[in-house]
Structure 1
Amino acid sequence: MTKAHQGMTIGHVHLKVTDLERSIVFYRDVMGLDVTQQYGDQAAFLSAGGYHHHIGLNTWFSKDGPPASKRSPGLFHVAFLYPDRAALAQALRTALDAGVDIEGAADHGVSEALYFSDPDGNGIEIYRDRPEAEWPRNSSGELNMINAPLDLDALLLEAA
């Protein structure tokens, strides 16, 4: 079995969307990404921190198409990792202020996560990792992740 190089990371995700401008507005104004390049009404690339792109959006096969069925194979969600709880709280506040419906929230022991969808129904997770020393482990030292409720009101108190 081949193992991935330990230095490998996942660099970006490219999503099919039905309305490029609507998706740009969501990923720019709700998720806070910057448009780094756009190709008319067919494709756009957005990033955080000056990277060339973290999210690619295109309408090449999906312009004005119907939403994908939740029961169809495909991407479940793309996850955005925030550096700390305060940054996650601010991201939640921004999403709520934009009228985003929060579809789920969980404390996984290793992380705290919130779930919602973009305008095309693509799943979004925003989360923060706890320090590895705080991760729950069983008596053998293996991860023992949980799926407990996350107190959104308490989280929002930490928004800057």
Structure 2
Amino acid sequence: MSAAATSATAFSPVAAGTRIGHVHLKVADLQRSIAFYSGVLGFEVQQYYGDQAAFLSAGGYHHHIGLNTWESRGGSPPPRGTTGLFHTAFLYPSRKDLADALRRLIAAGYPLSGASDHGVSEALYLDDPDGNGVELYWDKPESEWPRNPDGSLAMVTRRLDLDGLLKELEG
């Protein structure tokens, strides 16, 4: 272990309220990415930065997603077997909101690469037009999280019932 890694363990944990404020992605085609993140997923464009970047959000925040072509216009996704972003994860406030995201994807004919019930959350997985992984999920109430006999968290991965999720939109 490096000296830097060893000394890092001497610090206290990051503050509990710390969260990821936004993700900024290099994309090949700005308009194609806006069509996905805004047109399909429903994030709102807050600002353009010329014809090379755009900033999108949920609920009018300055931005949750930055998209740019500064170093990537016309580029291709990184090849398999290289390091980089695995996926971004967008936390929806409720199961009904996640169901609405699924409805949007179905209406757009946009394919899922997976859908899982992790015990603590339910998640939809897909790739954006540039091959960046995207997770759309909601957290179940902590009182419903599966626990091991010793009280520790028991994460699981089961197939998510998509029809059951869509039933959240009825009534």
Q: CA deviation at 1:153?
A: 1.3
Task: Map 1:1-160; keep pairs closer than 5 Å.
Answer: 1=9, 2=11, 3-159=13-169
Alpha-carbon distance in 2 for matches of 1:69, 1:113:
25
Tell me if the contact between 1:35 and 1:45 (Cα under 8 Å) persists in the aligned partners. Answer: yes
Tell me if the contact between 1:110 and 1:130 (Cα under 8 Å) persists in the aligned partners. Answer: yes
Q: CA deviation at 1:156?
A: 1.4
Q: Which amino acid aligns with 1:61?
A: E
Tell me if the contact between 1:37 and 1:45 (Cα under 8 Å) persists in the aligned partners. Answer: yes
Larger Rg: 2
- Give the total of aligned pairs: 160
Q: Which amino acid aligns with 1:26?
A: F
Q: CA deviation at 1:155?
A: 1.1
Alpha-carbon distance in 2 for matches of 1:135, 1:25:
35
Instruction: Output the TM-score relative to the length of structure 2.
Output: 0.90
* Percentage of identical aligned residues: 62
| Two-structure CA RMSD over aligned residues (Å) | 1.1
Render the CA deviation track for 1:90-109: whole Å, top value 9, x for unaligned.
11010111111110011100
Instruction: Output the TM-score relative to the length of structure 1.
Output: 0.96
Relative to its length, the structure with more helix (as a share) is: 2
Tell me if the contact between 1:77 and 1:124 (Cα under 8 Å) persists in the aligned partners. Answer: yes
Q: Which amino acid aligns with 2:28?
A: T
Q: Which residues of structure 1 form unaligned runs of 5+? A: none
> Secondary structure at 2:47's aligned position in 1?
strand
Tell me if the contact between 1:21 and 1:41 (Cα under 8 Å) persists in the aligned partners. Answer: no
Which 4+ stretches in 1 moved above 3 angstroms? none
Q: CA deviation at 1:21?
A: 0.7
Q: Which residues of structure 2 form unaligned runs of 5+? A: 1-8
Q: Which amino acid aligns with 1:43?
A: A
- More deviation, 101-110/24-33: 24-33
